[in-house]
Amino acid sequence: MNTNTETGGVSSLSRRDFLALSTGAAVFLSAGIPFGKLVGSAQAAGGHVLPALPYPEHALEPYISARTLGFHHGKHHKGYIDNLNKLISNTEFADLSLEKIITATAGKPDKIAIFNNAAQSWNHTFYWQCLKPNGGGEPPAALKKQIEASFGSMEACKKELATAAMTQFGSGWAWLVRDGQKLRVIKTANADTPLEKCMKPLLVIDVWEHAYYLDYQNRRADYVSAVLEKIINWDFAEKNLPA
């Protein structure tokens, strides 16, 4: 498990900034605005800031504990953002959105540290929205129609997502994406995202060990099953469908 980004506790945002960011996130989501704009909104004069979780830390229990969310969000996610701000200070990337930093640094060995921290900041902000209390079940009709056209059935789609999550060797992510006119399941290692592959992410499952190890130890399959059956946010995935 990668622990080199565990730096400090909660964000040092003022109460006013915290409320503004939280309110802004809710407005973007309710309007169905592409998620890239939501990530980009989490910027301030001093650099990128840690977005608030879209639910209380205990809201996903018993499937993901408050302790796991506290470490995952308050330590790992915050660490990536803090590291990124240090790396891009006084550089050409200082005023760019996370998406622009990711696409500008992808595949460049001399920019790997910036890419890793920007991509992990983006991936985690996206991942939090992919979960919700009392999730799972049937997706909205528009998404279900596209899933059935691409995979044959909902069960086939979930099976592919579970397989991708389980077969990702080491740390990484299992994604539902729009690739051209079809939906696909892909997996990425470490910090990689669908953005640099020109695919539209709809949904993701984090399979870095810090996402589940406090609750499930080595039972990744149990964690993946709990996410897909109990807390996956199909409504958020539907909002990410291209118009």
Q: What is the pLDDT of residues 172-212, one digit of tens each?
A: 999 999 999 999 999 999 999 999 899 999 999 999 999 99
Domains and CATH numbers, the chain: 15-129 (1.10.287.990), 141-239 (3.55.40.20)
Dist. CA 83–CA 6, nearest whole Å: 10
Give pTM, 2 decimals. 0.83
Q: What is the pLDDT of residues 12-21, one digit of tens each?
A: 333 333 333 3
Dist. CA 143–CA 145, nearest whole Å: 5
Dist. CA 104–CA 92, nearest whole Å: 10
Token digits of residue 86? 């240090």
Dist. CA 187–CA 167, nearest whole Å: 9
